[in-house]
Structure formats: C-alpha cells, structure tokens
Structure 1
Amino acid sequence: MLLDREEPLEILVVDDRQDNLDDMQELLEAIEQPVHCVDSGAEALEYLAQGHVGLVLLDVQMPRMDGFEVARRMRADPHTRFTPIIFVSGMAQTDEILGQGYGAGAMDFIAKPVQPAMLLHKVRALLEHEQYRRDLRRMSLQLERERAFNASILDNTAEGILVVGDDGRIRFANPAITRMLGCQEGELTGSELLSWVDVPGHLQWQESSFYEHWRRREHLRLHDANLHTRGGGVVPVALSCSPLPDDAHGMILLALDMSRVRDLHHQLEALAITDALTGLLNRRGFLQELQASISRHQRTGQKAALLYLDLDGFKHINDTLGHERGDQVLRQVSVQLKACLRPYDRLARIGGDEFTVILDSLSDPAEAASVAQKLIQQVVSEGAGEGGQPGLGVSIGIACLPTDGSSVEDLLRAADTAMYAAKRGGRRQYRFYETDLCPQN
C-alpha cells in the first residue's frame, strides 16, 4: 500500500506486558509521531497489513509467536519486507541471540531497560530513512507510470510520425511532430531529417545510422536522442525507425516526447544527492562536486580549496534541548553559512554537525582564509545562546588544491586534520593543513 506524503508514519510497539507498552507509549511521545501498541505477534501482523507502519519496536519473548517469528513473517510479506525492525528485549545479547535476531531481519537490538536518549535517536533515524525510502519508491512508481503512459501513446500511434525517403528528406509529418517542433503545417515536408536531429558534426545522410539501418532492412531505436525545434530549442525524444516496404523507398520514424520522463530522472538524481534536513548537498553530492573540482584543476590548472566545518557546542544543544531543537539549529546554521558564500560555491552537510565548502577559482589561499573567517563570525554572531545556553561556534580546517592533495581522499584527510587542529587550538577558529606554507589566523 503506497502512502500519501502527508500521512505520517506510525510506530508499532509489540510487547506482551502492558506496563512495557505504557512506558514505551509515554517515551515515544517525544517523537511526535503516531504510536500504536499491541500485545501479541498475531495482532502485530494484522495491523501491519494496513500499511501505515514505518517502524516496529518488537519484543522477543512473547507467548504463541515470539518476536523472531514475527520478523520472519514480515520479511516474507512484500508489503512489510523493508519495514525497519528494532528488537527491544531483556534477553542477554549473546552472539547466538544477535545472530538469530539479525538473521530474522532486525536492523537493531536494544536491551531492556532501554536508554531513552539512545532509543529516541535510533527511532528518529530509522523513521527518516524509511520516509526517504518511501519517497524514492513513490517517485520511481511515478516514473514507471509515465513510461507506461508513453508506451500506450506508441501503441495508439499518437506520437510524432515522420515518413522519410531514402534520400533523407521528410515526405510526411503528422500534427503531433509538428507541434513538438513548433513548426507550421507542412513546414517539415521536404526538409532534411538530419537538420532536425541532434547529430555530431556535419554528418552526411549516407553516413548516418538511419540510412545504414534502412539499407540493411533493420530497425533502429534511439532511447536518448534530441530533436531541434524551430525556435532553436531541444526536445528529448525516444526515436524508433523502421524500413517501409521496398517499393516505398523510405522509412517511418516515430518520435516520443521524453521531457517529463527526463524531468523525473533529474528529480530522482537531485533527491539522491540532497540532504533531507537542510536541502544542501549530502555526502554523496559533495564527493561528486569535489571530484569535479579536481577534474577542472587537472584540465585548466584552476586552484581550489576545501573547508571542513564542525560545529562547536552543538552536542550540548542536542543533549539538553533535544534532537528536534538540534535539527532546527542545523537548518538555521545552513542558511547562515550559505549567506556568506558566492552563488557558485558548493556547501554540503556530510553528516551530523559537519559541513564542507568547496571554493573554486582561487588566486591565493588568503581568499579561503577570508571566507573561513566570515563563516566563523556569522555562526558566532547568529548562534549566540538564549536563556543562558552556551552559543554555537564553528571550527574550520582548510586544504588547498593542489598543494595539500590531488585526490578526494587526500583533500578530505588534510581538511579534517586541519579542522581538529583548530579545535585543539581553542575552537571557533580556522587552520590550514600546511601551516608552514599557508597563512594562518
């Protein structure tokens, strides 16, 4: 069952003791997500069939059906195969018990009595992961629906249709292809096919794959092609070309507009490299951008710098004010950091309270130092404590390309080392990796 994005995921608690259910219900109020409690494995499986559950907290020792059996049945059911399971049990966590639990499909094992902070942190993390997985699945299903829709158009010949002669000139164009290319009625007729297809260089008709496949009486399918519009734009299309009977001396070409499908692909790609909490690049997106910066340097000699940022005082906020307040602080800091950077600088959150900045087109390391100082001042001034709480700060390590490394691993290691040097030096400051070569604060 596919959920709407607005419907919150539920936490299902399964335990045969009512006092444990009551305690867990009270503890999970901090999550602000719906919680449903049942006292048997059979009831759990029945409730899971409704499709609302995003996480299961499952006791192991229960009469009639223990937690291991519930987990195995969940993993055997396509609707609950990927639903996260945390075993919460008073059993000794021996290698045998842990092996049995993880083998049954658990993602984690927590001993009773539970530590509230640890449990709440893991519940939040798994719920976020499950929501992210469902969002990806929803978008993938939407993409599949678009593909099926486009396939149905092909079946009903509602796509763009061109008839092309063996000389490469268009003999017929239906209204769909005319609209697709922004042409007037009859404008395509008589023109050369290759003048509308995006092909490399000045390819002659007899050298084209269209002509070669027609000559061999073979079908040609191009799933990632582009057609030029009359106004100078480009339309992404899937092309299918088939030879007509011999006496027709030509071929029929079907063009399917793939604009919406490509847009969905781009959305999926963007989702995969975006941090869900802040909207910045995530670690995967950051690594891609850093590799791209290294490649630009290899081509052009363009210098760059990597800034590795770690928040000072953030752990205290998380421990005293809670993870929800911590998430709010991370979002605020993201906005503050972005305000100090140029539009083409790349800011990422790579995990926890760690951020990175890639600065390209640098003429001198002092430029990186200037940016780092602005970031430190911004976080200190905007993140001052409220109600007697200590304020935030940020420690920054700087690695320069190419002096401190020419690979992703080397630059990350250098910037991380410099960041820890800044923390050891008193926090709320920056350090270059090679202090004997680069300027310091």
Structure 2
Amino acid sequence: MVNKPNQPGLGVPADAAESRHQLEVRIAALRAELHAAEAALHALDSPGMAAVATAPAADAAATVARALEAQRQSEERFRLILENAPIGLSFMALDGTLTQVNDRLCDFLGRDRAALLSLGFRQITHPDDLEASNDGVERLLAGQATHFQVEKRYLRPDGSVVHGLLSVALVRDRHGVPLHFIGQVADITEQKRAERLLQEQAEQLRALSLVDELTGLYNRRGFLSLAQQQCNTARRHGKRVLILFADLDGMKEINDRLGHEAGDAALCAGAEILRACFRDSDVVARMGGDEFAVAAMEVAPPTTLDGYVRRIEEAVALFNDTSGPAWQLAMSVGLVEFDPAEPRPLAELLQRADELMYARKRARKLTRRSA
C-alpha cells in the first residue's frame, strides 16, 4: 500500500513534515504582523486619525515610524523564511503566474529564478496532472476550501520529470477578496522512485509465484487462477473449455538410471511438447512432479478429444524419433470438457481428467504386457 506522503513518518520523513509545520506556523505569525502593520498604516487615513492630528506632531511621527518599522521587520522576516525554507515556496498571482519563488524551488525545478518567474504553474506541470491542480485552484477561488494538497509531476527543461507534494492556500484581504496563492512543494521524487521499484519487485515476485522455475510453464497456482478465469469467460460467452491432465510415464526409471539431470530434461521436453500442441492463449502448466495440465478455450470449430490425444501422441513420437536422447518420452493424458450449459467446478473437472489419464496409463501397461 502506498503511504500518503502528507502524513509525518510515512511518505515524507518526520523531520521534513515537522519543518513544513514549523514553516506554516511562522508564516501565519508573519501574516498577523503584516496585518497589524497594515492596520496601523490604514489608521493614518481613517477618521480616527483626527485624534492623532490633535496630538503633538512628534507623537504622530512616532506612530508612523513604528508602523513602518514593524512592516519592514515583517518583510525582512518573511524574506528570511522564504530563502531558508527546506522546501520549495512560491507566490502565484490569480492568473497562475509565479511572482515570487525561493532557491529551493528553483533547484527542484532545474530553472533559474528569472526563467521560473516568466512561467505559470501550468507550463511546469506534467500535462496528465493539470486537471488535479486546476480543480484545486477552482475550489479555493469558489470558497469551497481553504487549501488543497496534491501529488503531481513537474517538467524540467532537460525533459526529466520530478515528483512533488504540493500544498496551496489562497490569501484574501480583510474583506475576503482573493489576493494571491501561496504554494509549498516538497520533493518526493526519490520516494516515488522507491515506490516504483517496490511495485516492480512485487510484480516480479508475483510472476515467479505463478511460474514453474524449471519448465517456464505456469505452476499449480497459476493454472488454478487462470483456468478458472477461462471457465468464467467461457460460461459468459457459451464456449467450451478443454481440461487436460497429463503425466510423464517412466520418470522414476529415468531418474534412477540416468540421474536427475536427465529427469529434468525429460520434464522440460514434455513441457515443450504440450506448449507446441496448444496456443499461446491456452493455459499450460506443470502441476508438480511429472504432472501437467492444460486449459484451452474453444475458439474454432470443436476438435474431438481423441483429436487432441492423437496430436500429443504424434508430437511425442516425433520427439523420440528425432531428438535421440538416452531415454524415451511417454505421456499419458486424460481430457474432459467444461460445458457452459452444465458447468462443473474446476476441481471436479481436474479430478475427472486425472482419473481418465490413469485409466489410459493402465490400459497402456496392459497392452505392453499382452504384446
């Protein structure tokens, strides 16, 4: 499961999450100071200024000086916060144009300040992620939210893509009129790369868990899963599915007389014969030991079960005539059909095919003894 990076200790390291929180607190305090300074300056033009006008000129000058100094200090503190923040910060006009950015954001996006300030957020956003950003901005302007957060991809000048966790808030004046946006961007590129790697590894493990290592065919787990899917599809579309169970004869003798390498070679030869006798879309599996199974959906005019048996027997005979191994390959098979009109469980079909396969094996042994 992918962790949500806006939770401290999960997607983003705890120290980074704490730094963002501290930064948000400092910016909030700074806004309060700026509002106080603006209120003091506004008082100079308000009716209440009449009281100041009647006071000594020195007191009025001192009031103005304190207001200006408070504003200067607030602006300086804001500048220091902007430049020393551990994450990317930006101010954005209502039309999406970037008006102020810090060095961390420039480094993250691979652009200098001048180049970045000539662009809007849409020009640096991956096209597939624009909709989420646009939706968030629209919600802020409509007053439906005070902020939004989204993972998105950004485009760098060299064509590379970086991943960021973007947090955006809309700043309004005292009357609620929108002024500009403030954005914070945490670099989560390495986190996303690690997530992709884990996903790829999980897919590889999943593939390995469904494939037999020796033969490259599906294993029992892969067969049961995929054959059941074929039966479900066949039932919906009124198709039949051939279910085959096969066993290589004489494997114990090959292993005892020639060793397990020869036994493995015989298993691989049997696997290749079955693979060649069926289509790529059919499910061919080694169920374990010397047992194999096939699930093949009917897509062409029906072939009789005996026709499939003959095809396999001819392929085995051709292998024995042309390959010249020190052992002869023999395969017994049992076949049944999944009928969509009278569907039976896959386990029951496999059991019946197994029974038919052993009956054929016993009949072959009796034939050899009587010969």
User: How far apart, in 2, do the equivalents of 1:371 and 1:358 lie?
Assistant: 12
Return the offset for 1:269.
1.0
| Partner in structure 1 of residue 203 of structure 2 | 266
CA change 1:398–1:387 in 2 (3 A) is closer
Return the offset for 1:189.
3.2
Superimposed CA distance per residue, residues 241-272 of structure 1 (whole angstroms, 9 cap, x where no aligned partner): 54447566465465634443322221111111
User: How far apart, in 1, do the equivalents of 2:223 and 2:317 lie?
Assistant: 25
CA change 1:363–1:241 in 2 (3 A) is same
| Partner in structure 2 of residue 316 of structure 1 | 253
- Determine whether 1:305 maps to 2:242: yes
Superimposed CA distance per residue, residues 322-353 of structure 1 (whole angstroms, 9 cap, x where no aligned partner): 22321121122222332333222221111001
AA in 2 matched with 1:358 = A
User: How far apart, in 2, do the equivalents of 1:210 and 1:265 lie?
Assistant: 39
| Partner in structure 1 of residue 351 of structure 2 | 413
3-state SS of the aligned residue for 1:366? coil
- Determine whether 1:423 maps to 2:355: no
- Determine whether 1:190 maps to 2:119: no
| Partner in structure 2 of residue 85 of structure 1 | none
3-state SS of the aligned residue for 2:303? helix
| Partner in structure 1 of residue 282 of structure 2 | 345
Q: Which has the larger radius of gyration?
A: 2
- Determine whether 1:330 maps to 2:262: no
Give runs of aligned pairs for residues 82-101 of structure 1, distance below 5 A. Answer: none
5+ residue gaps, structure 1: 1-149, 180-184, 230-234, 428-441
1:215 to 141, 145, 148: 145
Return the offset for 1:422.
2.3
Return the offset for 1:355.
0.9
Return the offset for 1:204.
8.7
2:286–2:292 CA contact under 8 A, matched in 1 = yes
CA change 1:164–1:263 in 2 (3 A) is farther
Superimposed CA distance per residue, residues 199-258 of structure 1 (whole angstroms, 9 cap, x where no aligned partner): 9xx99926999999x936576679xxxx799xxxxx9x9874544475664654656344
Structure with more of its chain in helix, by fraction: 2
3-state SS of the aligned residue for 1:190? helix
Return the offset for 1:306.
1.6
1:380–1:391 CA contact under 8 A, matched in 2 = no
Return the offset for 1:354.
0.7
AA in 2 matched with 1:409 = A
User: How far apart, in 1, do the equivalents of 2:298 and 2:154 lie?
Assistant: 34
TM-score of the two chains, using structure 2 as the length reference: 0.52
| Partner in structure 2 of residue 31 of structure 1 | none
AA in 1 matched with 2:254 = I
AA in 2 matched with 1:378 = A
CA change 1:175–1:378 in 2 (3 A) is farther
3-state SS of the aligned residue for 1:420? helix
What is the root-mean-square deviation of aligned Cα atoms in Å? 5.1
CA change 1:366–1:246 in 2 (3 A) is same
1:365–1:400 CA contact under 8 A, matched in 2 = no
| Partner in structure 2 of residue 292 of structure 1 | 229
CA change 1:240–1:383 in 2 (3 A) is farther
- Determine whether 1:205 maps to 2:135: yes
5+ residue gaps, structure 2: 1-10, 21-86, 112-116, 156-160, 173-179, 366-371
AA in 2 matched with 1:414 = R
| Partner in structure 2 of residue 50 of structure 1 | none
Give runs of aligned pairs for residues 165-180 of structure 1, distance below 5 A. Answer: none
Return the offset for 1:277.
1.4
3-state SS of the aligned residue for 1:276? coil
AA in 2 matched with 1:350 = M
1:397–1:416 CA contact under 8 A, matched in 2 = yes
CA change 1:345–1:369 in 2 (3 A) is farther
Return the offset for 1:399.
2.2
3-state SS of the aligned residue for 1:396? strand
User: How far apart, in 2, do the equivalents of 1:216 and 1:398 lie?
Assistant: 66
CA change 1:261–1:333 in 2 (3 A) is same
User: How far apart, in 1, do the equivalents of 2:141 and 2:361 lie?
Assistant: 67
Superimposed CA distance per residue, residues 45-72 of structure 1 (whole angstroms, 9 cap, x where no aligned partner): xxxxxxxxxxxxxxxxxxxxxxxxxxxx
Return the offset for 1:195.
5.3
1:345–1:360 CA contact under 8 A, matched in 2 = yes
- Determine whether 1:392 maps to 2:324: no
